[in-house]
Amino acid sequence: MALDFYAVFTLLIVLTAAFSYINFRYLKLPPTIGIMVIALICSLLIVFTGHISPSFKKIPQSIISSLDFETLLMKVMLSFLLFAGAVHIDIQKLKKQMVPIITFATAGVIISTFVVGALMYFLFSIFNLPVAFIYCLLFGALISPTDPIAVLGILKKANIPPALEIKISGESLFNDGVGVVIFATIVEVAQLGTQNISIGQTALAFLREAGGGIAWGLLLGYAGVLLLRSIDHYQVEVLITLAMVMGGYLLASYMHVSGPLAMVVAGIITGNKGKEEAMSDVTRDYLGKFWELIDDILNGVLFLLIGLEVLVISFHSRIIYIGLIAVLIVLFARFISVFLPTMFLQLRRSFERNTIPILTWGGLRGGISVALALSLPYSMHRNEIVSVTYIVVVFSIIIQGLTIGSLVKKLGKKGGQ
């Protein structure tokens, strides 16, 4: 079994490297989007060829089926990705935008969850596919967290205002954790039944998971800073941060607190207080490059897997139509979840021009949504939710990801006139 895992892991790294090379040399797309586009094209070619010769797609299908995407992302990759993203966040800029970031990451995700859930309930009914409202809420919870990993590089090139950029990156880091907590809470309600659980119990479970995750992240971060401050040896210091991520995330699962939120908080503390007070210039340089490389490699593998996942997801015409309409529903919900908090917060603070359209179109969905959908049991309409989620995620990454830069530039020109 170890050999099989190593063989599959090797294949993923080889394909990621090959697709990265093809993209860099020929397509010139943003790296993660390019990898996913090539993987998706290869997957569709395999599916098409499989209709002619069914045996042709059996091997690639069996390889992808053998991968537990949900476990791989949620229990292995996510901790590294969130810490790596958080360690580069400037806490001074974050503090200035903390109120809108927390509002978008909490109230925004909750608003989006209920808007998507309500509209999807009616959509499934229209297509004579009865799905209980609680399961539509599950879809709303897993599709609401934004994942703008692929788009941040484009936003920088488009000269987006720094304050707006920190809003997008900060929101994505925090709402990943919040979204996972909301999803887990709704799953628990669905399993126990609404008659067996109160609003107070649900709120308490949410606060315990989210608040516990933030507290654990603070403890991890400051304990890490103390250790880093006591030595000056970049190899050991990088190893300490690696232990914080792996050990901290594992312990969070045993303590039943939010591992994703813990990684975000620990990463922010390490990337700011740790770099300022506990690291030499050499360590700071090595640490930054190490986590940047980890981020790039894992993102490449993640988007490769998203592209290949189409091999094992079943689609039929009705689900495709529902998925395409769901794209519009998710965009509408994103607009509402940005518009309402922005209008409320504008009473006491100013926002950059074009905040609402940029945050709406720049709110990409990614691997976390697919992983959460795949974690559902079949009794919770797993097949339908996975298929619709995949369509929304692919549209989000490819169409929104490739056009957000042009949108920012176009809005900037209009604003300048």
Q: Are residues 128 and 218 in the same domain?
A: yes
| One domain for residues 12 and 122 | no
Q: Where does a domain end: 14, 34, 66? A: 66
Number of domains in the chain: 2
148 and 51 in a single domain? The answer is no
Arithmetic mean of pLDDT, 284-304: 93
The confidence score (pLDDT) of residue 2 equals 44
pLDDT band at 148 (very low <50, low <70, confident <90, very high): low
The mean pLDDT of 28-54, rounded to a whole number, is 90
Residue 33 sits in the same domain as residue 179: no
pLDDT digits (tens, 9 = 90+) for 153-165: 566 666 677 888 8
Same domain, 11 and 116: no
- Spatial distance between the Cα atoms of 34 and 75, rounded to a whole number of angstroms: 25
Which of residues 43, 66, 89 is at a domain's end? Answer: 66
Split at pLDDT 50, 70, 90, the class of 1 is very low
Is there a single domain that holds both residue 42 and residue 181?
Answer: no
374 token code pair = 């795949």
**Virtual CA dihedral for 65, 71, 74, 78, nearest 10 degrees?**
-80
Q: Are residues 160 and 299 in the same domain?
A: yes
Share of the chain above pLDDT 90, in %: 63
- Position 151 pLDDT exceeds 70: no
Domain's final residue, options 36, 66, 96: 66
CA distances from 302 to 16, 36, 284, 368 (A): 9, 9, 27, 10
| 73-82, 124-133, 226-235, 276-285: least confident range | 73-82
The CATH number linked to 82 is 1.20.1530.20
- Give yes or no: residues 94 and 205 share one domain: yes
| Residues 51 and 115 reside in one and the same domain | no
Q: For residue range 214-257, list pLDDT tens digits in order.
A: 999 999 999 999 999 999 999 999 999 999 999 999 999 999 99
Say whether both 327 and 387 belong to one domain: yes
- Quick one: average pLDDT of 194-217? 84
Report the alpha-carbon distance of residue 314 to residue 323 in Å, rounded.
Answer: 13
Residues 126, 148 share a domain:
yes
Per-residue pLDDT at 416? 54
Q: Do 50 and 119 fall into the same domain? A: no
How high is the pLDDT of residue 314?
85
- Domain around 344: 69-416
Find the radius of gyration of the CA atoms of the chain: 21
